[in-house]
Chains A and B, each alone.
Chain A
């Protein structure tokens, strides 16, 4: 039973790592991975010395952290609300509607956002104009772009993320709630002392996984949403790699950055796991 999974990881996850050595070579397809000349850390240094390196790293971390900090609480709240309601039909309808946006591509979400936020014909700006206010260029202003990115991600993914927490809540032994109710605990007290501790393992798991991919701030989303006026707050490592590495066909550079992200993610996940074990008593492994 384990074999297909093992094979999958060996073929698609570990074998490609072997080819990651092109990050240290000047990759020439005609010479192959083995025959391409070594260049040491040249591609890593090129990335670190890039004019925008500091800004790319800052934007990536800010957007990524904001998505974690602002994304997880609504998912937990939604899961608890769905768990607490006694109207099962309503819960099912709400759950279905809330996780539908997860299946929309970012191109479609961009269309929706444009219809809502466009300065010329967006719904929100039409409302502002009707109130005698100036329209706000939400997608092209450096002050509003990051909030739009984070909030649109929260809107899109809250329902989907809530599924994990809901599953954790459903696995809590119902007798705990019954005993608490008999002891006179209010609904809020039951949530605080039974539900929240009950999902702590899953919360730690989710947090650790997200910390591991903290340098992935959402390429598809940013690529669709960003434009020249907001590069200073919207350009992230992955969009830079796309422009500099992929569009200029510098595959070694792109691989070097990918490797850099992987190593940082690995370090963060190991450290965070140790911290979680020490302070919460649970971890990923």
Chain B
């Protein structure tokens, strides 16, 4: 009798468990690694349990590699018609293609299911327009949480040693760079320093790249009023490359190259190489983000004990213009696959995103394990830097779903740190980089679709500019006109016309 009762009870328990399992919604989420230096969260991550118990979601999280590798991975999944339920898209070319191919679901109906998140993040009609097609919104486009965080950092200790002032114009920049290169500012008796360190980089984090030499040289083009790809003049819209000042800016870069004040490896170096070299103390001035600086300060001061860094305002050009570059006010983009929506997972996706927006979900995803990965002194979440990022980073790989960019959050992520006897208030430096950079909002660029021969367009412009900058081609009227007339061969006019049409229709160009 007792045995029979036990069997019956066991069957009932199994049945109810089975019922609970049956009510769970499987949800696959793929996001780019927020901390590439750390592995994916462990299988026993408490978030999996909490999300299952409280939200009824069986979460399956996949990390995408950052950069083109991640884009390619998503592209391959799309080609196999096997996209995750909820995923991050960083390549707008891929996003456009997925919309065209009907692989993405409109998310309009989900906004009302996550009222708090929608009110705080997705209520900007203008931003939503960037992901709208035929009146349907095809993704959750976040407000930007981290942009304009780049700048030119100068070695103040070297300036003092050589009796120089921080440069404010392109001319002064050139002279200071020359002195840093030729007057042995580190005093080691060797000719091993360069005035400026920068690389050809088109990363979209913090800067909106333009056609040409990439983010690290936009300040030169900004000094001539031609930063970014497009000249948004409503009466004479065109690509900036056609402007007379674009040639002058390129001539300035060439001048820096010819004077050998730029590290001669600038065209082949990667960002990681640049970071290694400024940390070694090779450059008097270098282009870097506040986040990149924070990560490298320890090494930098270990190699250069008496160093001091200053953040330069963008140098002014001959007409008094200046800008560190262009940026977009749109942040990360999350899309829902049509397959997921068809399978009725829309409400689970909304539940999960709303949970990640505030309270428990926000802290778990954004900051990790309380009292281990972060603490809350005076209610300010503060990262525990004693735990290496390679460890705590695992628990915050989904942090971009949570972060909102408010000042408190920035204070926690970019705290005050002391290195090499110097104090760096990182959140203040971040604010300074954003404030003094004269950054140009070019969010409208995101509405411009990639041309069918985008790779050829990009190659043509960038290759020619690099050849001009390196001195492989002379810069004179004839060669420059030849370069401009060659734009016709790659159907650049059609690209410009399509861009103008898209910008006017969306209201970004009036």
Residues of chain A at the chain B interface (Cβ within 8 Å): 27-30, 32, 46, 50-52, 114, 118-121, 135, 137, 139-140, 142, 227-229, 231-232, 235, 240, 243-244, 246-249, 251
B82 to A, closest residue via Cβ? A29
Instruction: Decide yes or no whether B490 CB sits under 8 A from chain A.
Output: yes
- Taking A30-B103, A249-B79, A251-B75 as known contacts, 7 extra A-B pairs with beta carbons closer than 8 A to each other, sorted by chain A number, are A29-B81, A119-B264, A120-B264, A120-B265, A229-B267, A248-B450, A248-B455
Instruction: Decide yes or no whether B85 CB sits under 8 A from chain A.
Output: no
Assuming A52-B459, A227-B267, is B71 touching A247 (CB within 8 A)? yes
Expressed in whole angstroms, the Cα–Cα distance for A240 and B458 within the complex equals: 12
| B261-305 interface bits toward A, Cβ cutoff 8 Å, 1 = contact, 0 = none | 001110110000000000000000000000000000000000000
Instruction: Decide yes or no whether B472 CB sits under 8 A from chain A.
Output: yes
> A29–B79 contact, CB under 8 A?
yes
> A29–B103 contact, CB under 8 A?
yes
User: Cβ of B71: which chain A residues have Cβ within 8 Å of it?
Assistant: 247
**Can you list 15 A-B contacts (CB < 8 A)?**
A27-B79, A30-B81, A30-B102, A50-B453, A118-B265, A119-B264, A120-B264, A227-B268, A229-B466, A232-B463, A235-B459, A243-B458, A244-B453, A244-B455, A247-B91
Min C-beta distance of B348 to chain A, whole Å: 22
Expressed in whole angstroms, the Cα–Cα distance for A137 and B79 within the complex equals: 41
Instruction: Decide yes or no whether B43 CB sits under 8 A from chain A.
Output: no
Expressed in whole angstroms, the Cα–Cα distance for A247 and B460 within the complex equals: 17
Instruction: Decide yes or no whether B205 CB sits under 8 A from chain A.
Output: no
Assuming A229-B467, A244-B455, A246-B75, is B265 touching A119 (CB within 8 A)? yes
User: Cβ of A243: which chain B residues have Cβ within 8 Å of it?
Assistant: 455, 458-459
Expressed in whole angstroms, the Cα–Cα distance for A142 and B71 within the complex equals: 31
B214 to A, closest residue via Cβ? A228
* 3 residue pairs, one from A and one from B, having the closest CB atoms: A243-B455, A244-B455, A119-B264
> A248–B454 contact, CB under 8 A?
yes
Min C-beta distance of A80 to chain B, whole Å: 38
Expressed in whole angstroms, the Cα–Cα distance for A70 and B93 within the complex equals: 41
User: Cβ of B110: which chain A residues have Cβ within 8 Å of it?
Assistant: none
The residue among B75, B264, B467 with the most chain A CB atoms within 10 A of its own CB is B264
User: Cβ of B463: which chain A residues have Cβ within 8 Å of it?
Assistant: 228-229, 231-232
> A229–B450 contact, CB under 8 A?
no
Within 8 A of A (CB), among B455-510: 455-456, 458-460, 462-463, 466-467, 470, 472, 489-490
The residue among A29, A51, A118, A235 with the most chain B CB atoms within 10 A of its own CB is A29
Expressed in whole angstroms, the Cα–Cα distance for A251 and B71 within the complex equals: 14
Residues of chain B at the chain A interface (Cβ within 8 Å): 68, 71-72, 75, 78-81, 91, 93-94, 97, 101-103, 194, 200, 263-265, 267-268, 338, 450, 452-456, 458-460, 462-463, 466-467, 470, 472, 489-490
Assuming A30-B101, A30-B102, A51-B453, is B68 touching A247 (CB within 8 A)? yes
Expressed in whole angstroms, the Cα–Cα distance for A229 and B267 within the complex equals: 8
- Among candidates B102, B200, B268, B472, residue contacting A139 with C-beta atoms closer than 8 Å: B268
The residue among B91, B93, B102, B459 with the most chain A CB atoms within 10 A of its own CB is B459
User: Cβ of B264: which chain A residues have Cβ within 8 Å of it?
Assistant: 118-120, 135, 137
A32 to B, closest residue via Cβ? B81
Expressed in whole angstroms, the Cα–Cα distance for A140 and B264 within the complex equals: 10
Min C-beta distance of B191 to chain A, whole Å: 9
> B101–A51 contact, CB under 8 A?
no
> B75–A249 contact, CB under 8 A?
yes
User: Cβ of A232: which chain B residues have Cβ within 8 Å of it?
Assistant: 463
User: Cβ of B462: which chain A residues have Cβ within 8 Å of it?
Assistant: 228
B263 to A, closest residue via Cβ? A120
- Among candidates B450, B456, B467, B470, residue contacting A51 with C-beta atoms closer than 8 Å: B456
Expressed in whole angstroms, the Cα–Cα distance for A234 and B266 within the complex equals: 18
User: Cβ of A118: which chain B residues have Cβ within 8 Å of it?
Assistant: 264-265, 268
> A247–B72 contact, CB under 8 A?
yes
User: Cβ of B91: which chain A residues have Cβ within 8 Å of it?
Assistant: 247, 249
The residue among B75, B94, B103 with the most chain A CB atoms within 10 A of its own CB is B75
User: Cβ of B79: which chain A residues have Cβ within 8 Å of it?
Assistant: 27, 29, 249, 251
User: Cβ of B103: which chain A residues have Cβ within 8 Å of it?
Assistant: 29-30
Min C-beta distance of B181 to chain A, whole Å: 11
Min C-beta distance of B469 to chain A, whole Å: 9
User: Cβ of A140: which chain B residues have Cβ within 8 Å of it?
Assistant: 267-268, 470
Min C-beta distance of B148 to chain A, whole Å: 26
Expressed in whole angstroms, the Cα–Cα distance for A135 and B264 within the complex equals: 10
A141 to B, closest residue via Cβ? B472
Min C-beta distance of B457 to chain A, whole Å: 9
> B459–A142 contact, CB under 8 A?
no
User: Cβ of A28: which chain B residues have Cβ within 8 Å of it?
Assistant: 101-102
Expressed in whole angstroms, the Cα–Cα distance for A148 and B467 within the complex equals: 19
User: Cβ of A137: which chain B residues have Cβ within 8 Å of it?
Assistant: 264
Assuming A229-B467, A249-B97, is B267 touching A51 (CB within 8 A)? no
Expressed in whole angstroms, the Cα–Cα distance for A242 and B369 within the complex equals: 41
User: Cβ of B490: which chain A residues have Cβ within 8 Å of it?
Assistant: 51
User: Cβ of B72: which chain A residues have Cβ within 8 Å of it?
Assistant: 246-247
> B200–A228 contact, CB under 8 A?
yes
Expressed in whole angstroms, the Cα–Cα distance for A135 and B265 within the complex equals: 12
> A114–B472 contact, CB under 8 A?
no
User: Cβ of B456: which chain A residues have Cβ within 8 Å of it?
Assistant: 50-52, 244
User: Cβ of A229: which chain B residues have Cβ within 8 Å of it?
Assistant: 267, 463, 466-467, 470, 472
User: Cβ of B489: which chain A residues have Cβ within 8 Å of it?
Assistant: 51
Min C-beta distance of A233 to chain B, whole Å: 11
Expressed in whole angstroms, the Cα–Cα distance for A232 and B466 within the complex equals: 12
Expressed in whole angstroms, the Cα–Cα distance for A142 and B265 within the complex equals: 15
Expressed in whole angstroms, the Cα–Cα distance for A205 and B352 within the complex equals: 60
User: Cβ of B68: which chain A residues have Cβ within 8 Å of it?
Assistant: 247
> B268–A114 contact, CB under 8 A?
yes
> A228–B267 contact, CB under 8 A?
yes
Min C-beta distance of A52 to chain B, whole Å: 6
